[in-house]
Amino acid sequence: MRELAERVFAVGVQHWDRRLFDELIPLPDGTSYNAYLVKGSEKTALLDTADPAKTHELIDHLVQAGADKIDYVVSHHAEQDHSGSIPDVLLMYPDAKVVTNPKCKEMLIHHLRLEDEQFVTVEDGEKLSLGDKTLQFIYTPWVHWPETMSTWLAEDRILFSCDFFGSHKTSNRLYVEDEWEVYEAAKRYFAEIMMPFRSAIRGNLKKLEPLDIRLIAPGHGPVYPNPSFIVNAYQDWVSDRVKNEVVLAYVSMHDSTRRMADYFVDALTARNIKAHLFNLTGEDIGKLAISLVDAATVVLGSPTVLTGPHPSAAYAAMLVNALRPKTRFVGLIGSFGWAGKMPEQLIGMLSNLKAETLEPVIARGFPDESVFSALDDLAEKIRVKHTEAGIV
Ligand code: FEO
């Protein structure tokens, strides 16, 4: 059994072949549901559990770790990939209490149909003694639900952060070995579920500053033996800084919008603006999300379908709107055959963004020279806007 410190065991499970989360988020590298067993001199606590699909493996790991009793099951987050095995764990350890904050307790009662008397609630900063080890609960809300919290194990200087700092990544290695490989997965994870809550996360990072952290043990992905690596990455992602980059996400039916997209990327390249191009047909939306973390400008591209946007473009607009990236400028390119309200409808779907909308470039049918000229103008407008805003 793997130990992070004396009597602190990693008992979570790997889900190597899971390929989708929430029936929405691609998992190219699978995921893990990390759980940790902390044996104090007097009491034993299990920090988080696992997705219900993997309960049997979690139980096997608890047996292997010699967990003949568990006094507390700490629940950092009510989402079922961490909490889903709690009912089975409580059947196995009927005297155990679920330790969590009042908000999470209410959610667990609804999600798992647990009973009120099965809980002990804790306040922000409260400590729970296990004897020679002490758990301190730190509310870290909005990573990515309102009830999320972390646990600080002061004696071993380990922060258990659940989704916060996590990555959807499977490995039978306990610790991060290739930081940049994990960086990509962690950024993807941040982009997919935490990006809308940047200001709350800034507050959480500030709250953690006084801690002299030796290890960050998240709820997904490997443990960080160099915590500043992921903390610094988060500081960057939640900052207001944007880069001289354009995300262009488009779909095309008869090549008009595709031709415009290709031309537009060349126009950006000529102006030394980095472009991230996504054909929305079959695209990995996680990659699109990653690119939204830093880009100063987002441009959507769509043909017109029955007077409105192509559903794939509408899907992308809904996604961008939900993720609320820090993009400063929004553009639109596309085409129509006979009529339609595609531009107004797509722009209207981006109401969450605090971004300036640039003049759309729309072709009737296949783009002609006037359309290509308008695309040059749009690229130049973006260059000027970025320069004036000091975006490099
Ligand atoms: Fe990993 Fe929000 O659950």
Q: 123 C-alpha to center of ligand 1: Å?
A: 21
pLDDT at 1: 67
Coil, strand or helix: which one is 140?
coil
Task: Please give the number of the atom of ligand 1 that sits closest to the Cα of 145.
Answer: 2
pLDDT at 236: 98
Q: 264 C-alpha to center of ligand 1: Å?
A: 38
pLDDT at 340: 82
User: Atom 3 in ligand 1: which residue has the minimum CA distance?
Assistant: 79
**Model pTM score:** 0.96
Q: CATH topology of 2-237 equal to that of 243-388? A: no
* Domain residue ranges in the chain: 2-237, 243-388
Task: Please give the number of the atom of ligand 1 that sits closest to the Cα of 33.
Answer: 1
pLDDT at 231: 98
CATH of domain 2-237: 3.60.15.10
Q: 292 C-alpha to center of ligand 1: Å?
A: 21
Task: Please give the number of the atom of ligand 1 that sits closest to the Cα of 163.
Answer: 1
Q: 265 C-alpha to center of ligand 1: Å?
A: 36
User: Atom 1 in ligand 1: which residue has the minimum CA distance?
Assistant: 163
Q: Tell me which residue of 107, 44, 55, 98 sits closest to 78, measured CA to CA.
A: 107
Q: How far apart are CA 263 and CA 299, in angstroms?
A: 13
Token pair recorded at residue 203: 């507050």
> Residues with Cβ within 6 A of ligand 1?
77, 79, 81-82, 144, 163, 219-220
Task: Please give the number of the atom of ligand 1 that sits closest to the Cα of 166.
Answer: 1
Q: 54 C-alpha to center of ligand 1: Å?
A: 15
Length of the chain (residues)? 392
CA distances to 38, 253, 347, 359 from 256, rounded to whole Å, are 60, 8, 20, 19
pLDDT at 339: 82
- Cis preceding linkage at 144, omega within 30: yes
Q: Tell me which residue of 326, 364, 328 sits closest to 343, measured CA to CA.
A: 364
Q: 218 C-alpha to center of ligand 1: Å?
A: 11
Q: 164 C-alpha to center of ligand 1: Å?
A: 9
Task: Please give the number of the atom of ligand 1 that sits closest to the Cα of 220.
Answer: 1
CATH superfamily of 243-388: Flavodoxin domain (3.40.50.360)
Taking only the tens place, the pLDDT of each residue in 145-195 is 999 999 999 999 999 999 999 999 999 999 999 999 999 999 999 999 999
Q: 81 C-alpha to center of ligand 1: Å?
A: 6
pLDDT at 283: 85
User: Atom 2 in ligand 1: which residue has the minimum CA distance?
Assistant: 79
Token pair recorded at residue 10: 């990693």
Residue ranges in the chain modelled with pLDDT below 50: none
Which residue shows structure tokens 């603006």?
A: 273
Q: How far apart are CA 164 and CA 166, in angstroms?
A: 5
